[in-house]
Chains A and B, each alone.
Chain A
Amino acid sequence: MASILAVDDSASMRQMVSFALKNAGHDVVEAVDGVDGLKAAQANKVSLVITDVNMPNMDGIALIRELRNLPDYKFTPILMLTTESAPHKKQEGKDAGATGWIVKPFDPDQLLATINKVLG
């Protein structure tokens, strides 16, 4: 299956996302913030990135921008985890190069349904 990078500063969200993905047979690389995520993305060529938006050190939007500058990640699907309360974040993310978004709260099934879309 696919290898997926999950970036979130919240350990419980990371655990849940990672568990759901692994359960569905994917390989998961975890990172705790944008800086960590960028490093992880460079160290492992993954085929999908799922990132939270609000994070310390480097936020999700900045991470997407950085990733799109890497030749390896020019076209890789990148999904951001947003909350319904921040519609402007979606636009910011899109402008930075995000493929799409998953709105929190979500459950593991919704997550899998969404990533199956982009993984094809």
Chain B
Amino acid sequence: MPANLKDGPLKQHSVYVIDDDRDVRRSLSFMLSAAEIRSHPFGSGLDFLEALPDLEPGCILLDLRMPQMDGFEVMDALAERKVDWPVIVMTGHGEVPVAVRAMKLGAVDFVEKPFSEQALLGCFNQAFGLLKDREAAGRRRREAHERAALLTGREKEVLRSLLAGQSNKEIAQSLGISLRTVEMHRGNMMDRLQASSLAEALTLALEAGIEPAQAPAG
């Protein structure tokens, strides 16, 4: 695990530290800045959620035991807002069941207080990788949505039928149109999606959340 992340992908991303303990917040900010990681401290989950709409994607370092709103509630709130930034939770020593519960809620990792710099940076290394992947997936999804939005009704129907594994002939039959017309819609659909192969078009369809067509009756 690289102890120095200077040249890694981390530099461009922020860490949001959420802990009600001022000393812990200050010390984390200091340690992360010494490791050249940008961090933004928040004294409570509410403060963080309030600022969330204006924040760039980043990793979240979250204390579980906090007054008013604890770490679990913060994770629930993030899920509600469909924010999938990687969350690393901080637990007390020996709180394995608590950590397990957090992992089930989607935390990517946990550290036990007090933790070593190496352990924390190791977690971040993984989390930032994940963040990058999730961001890329997000971008792809947005793109797929944008392209899928360009499809006409017929083109989308053809795509859904293809997703259901139907051949051009079957599609023509179930839609009640000629084979030639199906082929035309299919070509236009491929163009609009900027797909060079059927596999690519189907992947895009899935990323855009397009459902397969129902199998024709009989």
Q: Do A and B come from one complex?
A: no
> Residues on B close to A: CB < 8 A?
none
Q: Which residues in A have some Cβ–Cβ distance to B below 8 Å? A: none
